[in-house]
């Protein structure tokens, strides 16, 4: 076993409805063997509209569940990776939960975007079903959102995250869990309206297999199998039921006159009875929208995807993650960047400066990836307006669905580095987004922004006049030596970089001097 890879890993999925953990032993072939699973119903989110706040009780339940998970993971001596989805993602007070999870449960929580959630779910599904060589449509119905993804192998062909969770839909249209005719009609129409744009956007894609994951779909599949036979399989993984069987399950749920009636249906998970009406309608309408004749259940989903992604990080298999990140960054750059050659030059110059300054600034290799992304994307706001385009760049990056492979925290940091590539310096008191970061992340953002500012200056003319830069760190000064391209004058670039060096100078704690080429002596 590679000494850098733990023998056992734990992954936690903090969802709107439940907290799930899987603990697995790492095998020698880059896969894993599940040792134990843990699930706690916490109901972090319970709103029928935008889940803007986590209640004090919900936060308490979530932190308690995470503390329980930590103690189990410690028994296996397993490092933990924890990700949070819709409920935490949308909550204005999510930092309260994140801070308490760290301080009271000892767990660092990463909030991930809906698109990143879909990618990790897809990665998990590929570990449990033999579908690697076919185009699949993955559907994962959570409490607050539904993730849809077309994939072939590990390639993501298209993905969307929709605010169509089982809790959200039930609370909005069927608040008591028991449906009336008008409620069902309104809920179905809402689902069709929400799904129609996704169907239109993916009309050129055809899925050979419709795969469903999550507790809602597991419950519907179990109910369908229970209606089919008196003997239920011990493991539902790879079980397949038809759309007609799903329709029959939905009709039975909607016909129930009480939650007791729903709980009495064979195959029902009693803890989901109150949200089953909304959740089952999401599955049925999604199958109709994409003309899926059946659904295959995967018992692996987000947490298994997180586990595999974490395993790859620990093993040093960074190419996969970097490729995914880079593809998303380049795609967004191509959509928004007016001068991609300039963006590429700024990114390259930033990487050269980073190589010479990382140790002095205390920056990690991971910070280098964030720097590259920010440098490539810092001018994306120009397609909105030249005025205040750095602020527009923050908005574009922060709200993009193309940045797969990044956590929500990382996207925020990339967006802030781009926002500070010009004009005002980072200020925790004046800028709420920057102030919300941890002290360590604020330091990283400020350092990376200082580097990008100088790199932008070094391509002031947008003509790649600088061939290379070399950083010389001395006790009382940091010198940046500039090598011009053949026959190129770099006076403008040197002056622009020096003018923009104030933030970097503040970060390194000494003067920064940008120096042009040293004249070659003609005397002996």
DSSP E strand stretches across 245-303: 294-297
* Nearest CA among 171, 175, 287 for reference residue 220: 287
What would the mean pLDDT of 31-35 be, rounded to a whole number?
80
Q: Which two tokens stand for residue 98?
A: 């994140």
Whether residue 50 has pLDDT greater than 80: no
DSSP symbols for 11-59:
EEEE-SSEEEEEEEEEPTTS-EEEEEEEEEE------SS------HHHH
Residues 174-193, mean pLDDT to the nearest whole number: 92
Confidence at residue 323, expressed as pLDDT on a 0 to 100 scale = 60
315 pLDDT exceeds 80?
no
Q: Find the mean pLDDT for residues 315-338.
A: 69
Two tokens at 180? 């009336």
If you ran DSSP here, which 8-state letter would residue 272 be given?
Answer: G
pLDDT band at 355 (very low <50, low <70, confident <90, very high): very high
Q: Are 456 and 340 in contact (CB under 8 A)?
A: no
| Averaged pLDDT score across all residues of the chain | 89
| HSE-CB for 80 with a 13 A CA cutoff | 28
pLDDT recorded at residue 246? 98
Give the residue with greater pLDDT, 89 vs 192: 192
Question: What pLDDT sits at residue 402?
Answer: 74
pLDDT band at 190 (very low <50, low <70, confident <90, very high): very high
User: Tokens 């490539």 belong to which residue?
Assistant: 376
| Entry pTM | 0.69
What is the CATH T-level fold of the domain 317-515, as seen in this structure?
A: Hypothetical protein af1432 (1.10.3210)
Q: Are 110 and 101 in contact (CB under 8 A)?
A: no
Nearest to 106 by CA among 67, 145, 138, 55: 67
Reduced to 3 states (helix: H, G, I; strand: E, B; else coil), residue 131 is: coil
- CATH 1.10.3210.10 domain locations along the chain: 317-515
Mean pLDDT of the 249-268 span: 94
Q: State yes or no: pLDDT of 49 exceeds 70.
A: no
CA atoms within 13 A on the CB side of 427: 6
Range 355-370 average pLDDT: 93
What are the pLDDT digits (tens) for 294-310? 999 998 889 888 988 88
**pLDDT, position 501:** 96
> Is the per-residue pLDDT at 245 higher than 60?
yes
Query: What does the pLDDT look like over 384-427, one tens digit per residue?
Result: 877 778 888 998 998 886 776 677 788 899 999 999 999 889 99
Whole-number Å distance between alpha carbons of 315 and 5:
5
Residues in the chain: 524
- Residue 103 above 90 pLDDT? yes
Residue 140 · residue 155 · CB < 8 Å? no
Residue 138 contacts residue 151 (beta carbons within 8 Å): yes
Query: Average pLDDT for residues 196-221, to the nearest whole number?
Result: 95
Distance CA 286, CA 18 (A): 22
C-alpha span between 385 and 513 (Å, rounded):
33
pLDDT tens for residues 80-97? Answer: 999 999 889 889 899 999
Neighbours of 483 (CB within 10 A): 13
Flag whether pLDDT at 321 surpasses 50: no
Three-state DSSP class for residue 509: coil
Asked if pLDDT for residue 366 goes beyond 90, the answer is: no
In the chain, CATH 3.30.420.150 covers: 130-299
What is the reported pLDDT for 386?
Answer: 73
Phi, psi of 205 (to 5 degrees): -100, 140
- Ranges 32-36, 226-230, 268-272: which has the least confidence: 32-36
CATH topology of domain 8-111: Nucleotidyltransferase; domain 5 (3.30.420)
Q: How far apart are CA 141 and CA 221, in angstroms?
A: 13
Least confident of 46-55, 137-146, 247-256, 456-465: 46-55
pLDDT of residue 524: 39
Burial of residue 320 (number of CB atoms within 10 Å: 0-12, 13-18, 19+):
middle
What whole-number distance in Å separates Cα of residue 381 and Cα of residue 393? 4
Residue range(s) occupied by CATH 3.30.420.40 in the chain: 8-111
CA distances from 154 to 133, 368, 428, 474 (A): 10, 25, 40, 47
The pLDDT of residue 289 is 97
CA–CA separation, 305 and 89 (whole Å): 18
Q: Is 417 helix (H, G, I), strand (E, B) or coil?
A: helix
pLDDT > 50? residue 372: yes
Count of Cβ atoms closer than 10 Å to residue 80 Cβ: 22
Instruction: Pick one of 3.30.465.10, 3.20.20.450, 3.30.2310.20, 3.30.420.150 as the CATH number of 130-299.
Output: 3.30.420.150
When pLDDT is cut at 50, 70 and 90, the band that residue 523 belongs to is very low
Q: CA-CA distance, 428 to 434, in Å (whole number)?
A: 6
Residue entry with tokens 């590429």: 344
Residues with Cβ within 8 Å of residue 474, at least 6 apart in sequence: none
**Cα–Cα distance measured from residue 88 to residue 77, given in angstroms and rounded to the nearest whole number:** 27
Partners of 221 in the beta sheet? none
Across the range 343-351, mean pLDDT stands at 94
CA gap 150, 157 in Å, rounded = 5
pLDDT: which is higher, 318 or 250: 250
pLDDT of 475 > 80? The answer is yes
Average pLDDT score over residue span 322-334: 77
How far apart are the C-alpha atoms of 27 and 33, rounded to whole Å? 7
The DSSP 8-state label assigned to residue 436 in this structure reads T
Q: Given CA atoms 231, 234, 236, 239 in this order, what sign does their dihedral have? A: negative
Phi/psi of residue 422, nearest 5 degrees = -155, 170
pLDDT per residue as tens digits for the range 478-520: 999 999 998 889 999 999 999 999 999 999 999 999 997 654 4
């Amino acid at each position: 076993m590679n000494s850098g890879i733990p023998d056992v890993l734990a992954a936690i999925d903090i969802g709107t409805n439940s907290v799930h953990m899987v603990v697995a032993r790492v095998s020698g072939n880059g896969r894993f063997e599940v040792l134990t699973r843990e699930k706690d119903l916490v109901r972090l989110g319970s709103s029928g509209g935008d889940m803007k706040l986590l209640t004090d009780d919900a936060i308490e339940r979530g932190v308690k569940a995470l503390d329980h998970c930590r103690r189990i993971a410690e028994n296996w001596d397993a490092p933990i990776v924890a990700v949070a989805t819709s409920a935490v993602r949308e909550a204005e007070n999510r930092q309260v939960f994140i801070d308490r999870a760290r301080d009271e449960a000892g767990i660092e929580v990463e909030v991930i975007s809906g698109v990143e959630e879909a990618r990790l779910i897809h990665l998990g599904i590929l570990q449990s079903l033999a579908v690697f060589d076919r185009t699949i449509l993955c559907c994962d119905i959570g409490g607050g959102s539904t993730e849809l993804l077309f994939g072939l192998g590990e390639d993501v062909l298209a993905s969307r995250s929709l605010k169509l969770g089982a809790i959200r839909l039930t609370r909005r249209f069927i608040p008591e869990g028991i449906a009336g005719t008008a409620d069902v009609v309104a809920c179905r129409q809402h689902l069709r309206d929400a799904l129609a744009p996704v169907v239109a956007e993916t009309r050129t894609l055809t899925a050979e297999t419709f795969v469903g994951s999550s507790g809602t779909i597991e419950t519907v599949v179990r109910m369908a199998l229970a209606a089919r036979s008196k003997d239920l399989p011990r493991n539902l993984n790879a079980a397949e039921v038809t759309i007609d069987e799903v329709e029959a399950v939905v009709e039975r749920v909607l016909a129930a006159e009480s939650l007791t009636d729903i709980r009495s249906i064979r195959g029902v998970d009693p803890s989901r009875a109150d949200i089953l009406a909304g959740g089952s309608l999401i599955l049925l309408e999604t199958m109709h929208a994409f003309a899926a004749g059946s659904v295959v259940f995967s018992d692996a989903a987000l947490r298994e995807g997180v586990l595999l992604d974490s395993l790859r990080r620990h093993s040093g298999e960074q190419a996969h993650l970097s490729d995914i990140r880079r593809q998303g960054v380049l795609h967004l750059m191509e959509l928004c960047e007016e001068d991609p050659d300039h963006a590429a030059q700024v990114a390259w110059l930033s990487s050269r400066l980073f190589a010479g300054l990382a140790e002095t600034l205390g920056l990690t290799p991971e910070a280098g990836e964030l720097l590259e992304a920010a440098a490539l994307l810092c001018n994306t706001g120009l397609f909105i307006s030249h005025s205040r385009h750095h602020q527009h760049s923050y908005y574009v990056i922060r709200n993009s669905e193309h940045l797969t492979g990044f956590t929500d925290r990382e996207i925020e940091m990339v967006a802030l580095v781009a926002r500070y590539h010009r004009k005002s310096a980072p200020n925790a008191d004046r800028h709420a987004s920057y102030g919300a970061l941890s002290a360590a992340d604020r330091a990283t953002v400020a350092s990376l922004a200082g580097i990008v500012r100088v790199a932008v200056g070094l391509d002031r003319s947008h003509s790649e006049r600088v061939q290379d830069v070399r950083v010389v760190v001395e006790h009382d000064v940091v010198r940046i030596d500039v090598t011009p391209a053949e026959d190129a004058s770099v006076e403008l670039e040197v002056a622009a970089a020096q003018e923009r060096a104030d933030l970097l100078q503040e970060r390194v704690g000494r003067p920064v001097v940008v120096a042009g080429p040293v004249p070659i002596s003609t005397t002996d």
